[in-house]
Amino acid sequence: MTGTELTIRGRASSFRSSRWRVKLLLALSGVLAVALVGAAINHPIPSPTLRIRGADISFTLQEEAIRQFVSDNGREAPMEQILASHGSNFVRLRLWVNPAPGTSDLKSALALARRAHAAGLKLLLDFHYSDSWADRTTQQPPAAWQGLSQEELASTVERYTRGAVGDFARQGTPADIVQIGNEITRGLLWPYGQIYSPAGENWAGASQLINAGAKGARDGNPAQTPLIMIHSDTGGDQDASVHFYDQLQQHGVSFDLIGLTYYPFWNGSLADLDRNLRALAYRYGKDIILAETAYPWTLSSSGNVPSVVSTNEALPDATAYPPTPQGQAKFFAALNSVLRGVPNGHGAGYFIWEPGWLPGVGADARTGNAHSNLTLFDWRGHGLPALDAFRPTGKAGG
């Protein structure tokens, strides 16, 4: 082997060695990049503030009708004004089709919308598509809609939704978000829109009715098209949530927002909620709202009606957040933090359910109020520390 050959081979070897060093550096850089991405996924930078901080105040007129009022720091004021003064920026109003007058009917909802708008609050409109309560246990069609065929029912849903959304827009209080059905994990307007039966799962009917409602909502105010939210009751259940929203997408349901019910005594711990929110954010890339949430400030009952939650054992995080006024406030600060930590800012916010539903007003003519220990006011109507849940960071000063 000549000296020239050795020199050439030496240079080639040096070149290969340099090339492998470059490859090694690139590989290490790739590993580092993956590690950094993984760290960002597991520990995303939290959003500085929560964008949507609202409450369902649908019982307000009924409370005022029996002269049951609320106060804050000794000053009596309308519900919506107290919430706004603490940082709330939304209200949620439920709408029943033909209920008893004054109980979540269109006239009442329009009146509350005007008051909320005057207080600077935006509106989420919650269509139950029933004459009374619709939730995971019952989805009874309005009496006037019974006997319709599937196609007639879909047309009626579209027409009714379009008309109601238009009514809110025409009075200058447009719905920013429209919820198509309430807790419709098992469908809506049974039996046509019922998903689960002994024969198996049927998503076609529910999907047709949801799309009809969504079209009606969008057509009801084309000048300011509302966002469409689909609401399930699966706040802490990742598997059930994914199954529900996967099926909706596979059956052509178009929507903007995921809405979840999250009551810890029914839906699990904050850790359960956190896992579900992260999974949904990555899977669908949509903003998520807790359409209903609440926490007790006492375990006592009022009005001879047992409270819906009456033991520490029912609260998975009771050690950290005891059912006291201060514990309730700490819980909402933690809940706010969980939502702000959802990846890519997809934890949009929450609606505290009926913070002013005080003893004296029943759920309906036959049922009392089992939720009066979940309010943000004590039973004399005095504001509790958890009113600061409507601050951007869920606590005083934030």
| pLDDT tens by residue, 358-397 | 999 999 988 999 999 999 999 999 999 999 999 999 998 8
> Mind telling me the catalytic residues?
183, 292
- Cis bond upstream, residue 191 (ω within 30): yes
Say whether pLDDT at 107 is over 60: yes
- Rounded to a whole number of angstroms, the distance between the first and last alpha carbons of the chain is 79
pLDDT top residue among 37 and 111: 111
Q: What pLDDT shows up at residue 29?
A: 40
Can you give the residue ranges of every domain in the chain?
1-40, 52-390
Q: What pLDDT shows up at residue 302?
A: 87
Q: What pLDDT shows up at residue 134?
A: 98
Say whether pLDDT at 248 is over 60: yes
Measured in whole angstroms, how far is the alpha carbon of residue 288 from the centre of its chain?
A: 6
How far is the C-alpha of 142 from the C-alpha of 127, rounded, in Å? Answer: 12
Q: What pLDDT shows up at residue 210?
A: 98
Say whether pLDDT at 14 is over 70: no
Q: What pLDDT shows up at residue 44?
A: 62
Task: Produce one character per residue of 262-274: b if its CB has 16 or more CB atoms within 10 Å, e if not.
Answer: bbbbebbebebbb
pLDDT band at 45 (very low <50, low <70, confident <90, very high): confident
Which of the residue ranges 28-42, 76-90, 115-129, 193-207 would you say has the lowest mean pLDDT? Answer: 28-42
Say whether pLDDT at 3 is over 90: no
How far is the C-alpha of 3 from the C-alpha of 9, rounded, in Å? Answer: 10
pLDDT band at 1 (very low <50, low <70, confident <90, very high): very low
How far is the C-alpha of 226 from the C-alpha of 179, rounded, in Å? Answer: 10
pLDDT top residue among 17 and 4: 17
Say whether pLDDT at 36 is over 60: no
Mean pLDDT of the chain: 91
Say whether pLDDT at 26 is over 90: no
Spell out where 145-194 has E strands: 177-180
If you average pLDDT over residues 236-251, what whole number do you get? 98
Superfamily of domain 52-390: Glycosidases (3.20.20.80)
Q: What pLDDT shows up at residue 291?
A: 98
Q: What pLDDT shows up at residue 315?
A: 98
Q: What pLDDT shows up at residue 301?
A: 92
Say whether pLDDT at 337 is over 70: yes
pLDDT band at 46 (very low <50, low <70, confident <90, very high): confident
If you average pLDDT over residues 310-325, what whole number do you get? 98
pLDDT band at 8 (very low <50, low <70, confident <90, very high): very low
Share of the chain above pLDDT 90, in %: 86
**Proportion of the chain in helix, strand, coil states, percent, rounded to 5:** 45, 15, 40
pLDDT top residue among 11 and 101: 101
> For residue 296, how many other CB atoms are within 10 A of its CB?
29
